Chains A and B, each alone.
Chain A
């Protein structure tokens, strides 16, 4: 298999999935003749720009209500994902474990975060919303830095309420989005220079995809705002705790959103809204 046989089909992922299904094979057949099996920069650029252009056209044709639902779902997912990873990170921090809290506090907080995340992922924002009140007494009772997760949970709960209370079917998101908190967890372990490179790549992807799809831009604004606030408060509260060092970085907010965009642009974990006409 030549490089062209691998690279061109991979670049088709820049296109919306439905467009690639309808026209992808025909485009690749034409490309096989025009490029004669070579990878040409002109063709690579043409596919990337063509894909983003098609995504923008598809975005414009999406109903406005579906765009808001999708943005609320993405924003809530990202915040719940960060909340989940933060609660795990805090639970594993020796400083936190030595704070004299009941041992069941952290696993229970993590289990609640995971449940809310999974329920929203599978299109059950109402069930996730019902779990939310159980988190608050738990977080407040601990009177520890974990209480800061309320900062993340409250806007996420607002997103859940929006999705649960409006009279439209909830968007469902593929299990692939579980990668978001997992990748965030992995990013926390990266040494600083690598972390900086990861942020650069995700930020560039963010700008590209947000320019194409309004719902990502709509989701990015509250998520970046809330995360910037979260990490600022964490910085002044936790100081130099070992975990807080990796949690603090304000750019992590951008990286989280960028990770989601990266996954979306990879084309295989896209949110699908049942309110969008097929």
Chain B
């Protein structure tokens, strides 16, 4: 069984499900997907991108220069998609355990 993804990595992978994005767009997408809860610093983002690329979950594109600034789009690999899906299922199963029990408590209070 693979290790659970850390939250920044989970949201970075989730941000790329709809297609490749460059650094700043990933930061914005992560913030939006997490309802403003996960605000990654740029250093944390690039650490996560490096790690996920090394693990084969992301594929960095070629560097391009836009308005004098270099940037690179990152895309999800099939392994990355499998990993983030597996993590989402694990979180969902974990959530179900609690939700099922709290709904019993709510239905039949002591």
Contact = CB atoms under 8 A, between A and B. Distances in A.
Contacts of B50: 19, 23, 54
- Which of under 10, 10 to 19, 20 to 34, or 35 or more describes the interface residues of B? 10 to 19
B6 to A, nearest CB: 12
Interface stretch (B69-77, B85-93, B102-110): B69-77
A196 interface: no
B79 interface: no
Q: Is the interface of A mostly helix, strand, loop or mixed?
A: helix
A51 B23 contact: no
B59 to A, nearest CB: 15
Given A27-B42, A50-B47, A33 B63 contact: no
Contacts of A49: 43-44, 47
A237 interface: no
A34 B69 contact: no
A19 B49 CA distance: 13
Contacts of A30: 22-24, 27, 42, 45-46, 71
B41 interface: yes
Nearest to B67: A29
Contacts of A189: none
Interface string B21-37: 01110010000000000
7 contacts: A19-B50, A27-B23, A27-B42, A42-B39, A42-B41, A50-B47, A53-B47
Given A47-B43, A50-B43, A50-B44, 12 more contacts: A19-B50, A26-B72, A27-B43, A27-B46, A30-B46, A30-B71, A34-B24, A46-B43, A49-B43, A50-B47, A51-B43, A54-B50
Complex A-B, nearest 10 residue pairs according to Cβ-Cβ distance, in ascending order: A46-B41, A46-B43, A50-B43, A30-B23, A29-B69, A33-B24, A47-B43, A31-B42, A50-B47, A25-B70
Interface of B: 22-24, 27, 39-47, 50, 63, 69-72
